[in-house]
């Protein structure tokens, strides 16, 4: 449908927990389409609705040629872990080693309200965990150890994009239960 601007680090919507989707309608399908188009255009491995300024529990992924989406995810994580490079479309140019569960089972819904289960490991597991974190207001830099987090924050403050953009606020067409998105 449309390629939309991606919200950058510092935008308050990235720190607010997203609301559960309760209405599976045309607007939701348009959101999934916009997320997919924007993610593919930005060449990302995933994109969550808060990154487009929409506080709903929806994300898309693009891993190893597989493009998909998940709504209202509930994750079961493996006990074994993986370390690997991780970045974020909302924090351009920043890549740090981040520990994640090696595999994940994610249950949720399609944009049509049908229950789905996604099982993944390695990069897919990393992408699903990263995007679900966005839905909880957590950024990957929050998961770094103290030294790496300090270095990442310094790099963010020194970036060309930090603080340049004033966030625009859009109103979700879905019930927000008093949360101002």
Give me the average pLDDT of each 10-residue run along the chain (181 residues).
Answer: 92 97 97 98 97 98 97 98 97 96 98 98 98 98 95 94 61 50 41
Residue 42: predicted pLDDT = 97
Rounded CA separation 73/96 (Å): 25
Q: Where are the domains of the chain?
A: 12-158
Global pTM value: 0.89
Q: Is the separation of the CB atoms in 101 and 78 below 8 Å?
A: yes
Q: Is the separation of the CB atoms in 140 and 130 below 8 Å?
A: yes
Residue 163: predicted pLDDT = 79
12-158 adopts what CATH topology? Answer: Peptide Deformylase (3.90.45)
DSSP-derived letter for residue 179 is: -
**Known catalytic residue: 131?**
yes
Torsion of CA 97, 99, 103, 105, to 10 degrees: -110
Q: Which of 20, 66, 86, 131 is catalytic?
A: 131
């Amino acid at each position: 449908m449309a390629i939309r601007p991606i919200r950058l680090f510092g935008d308050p919507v990235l720190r607010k927990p997203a609301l559960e989707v309760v209405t599976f309608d045309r607007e939701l399908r348009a959101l999934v389409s916009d997320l997919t188009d924007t993610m593919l255009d930005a060449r990302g491995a995933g994109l969550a609705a808060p990154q487009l300024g929409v506080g709903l529990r929806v994300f898309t992924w693009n891993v190893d040629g597989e493009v998909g989406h998940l709504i209202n995810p509930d994750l079961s994580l493996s006990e074994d872990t993986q370390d690997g490079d991780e970045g974020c479309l909302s924090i351009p140019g920043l890549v740090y080693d981040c520990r994640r569960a090696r595999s994940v089972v994610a249950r949720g819904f399609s944009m049509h309200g049908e229950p789905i289960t996604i099982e993944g490991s390695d990069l897919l597991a990393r992408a699903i965990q990263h995007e679900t974190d966005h839905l909880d207001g957590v950024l990957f830099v929050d998961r770094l150890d103290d030294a790496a987090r300090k270095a990442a924050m310094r790099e963010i403050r020194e970036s060309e994009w930090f603080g340049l953009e004033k966030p625009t606020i859009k109103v979700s067409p879905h019930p927000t239960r008093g949360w101002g998105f």
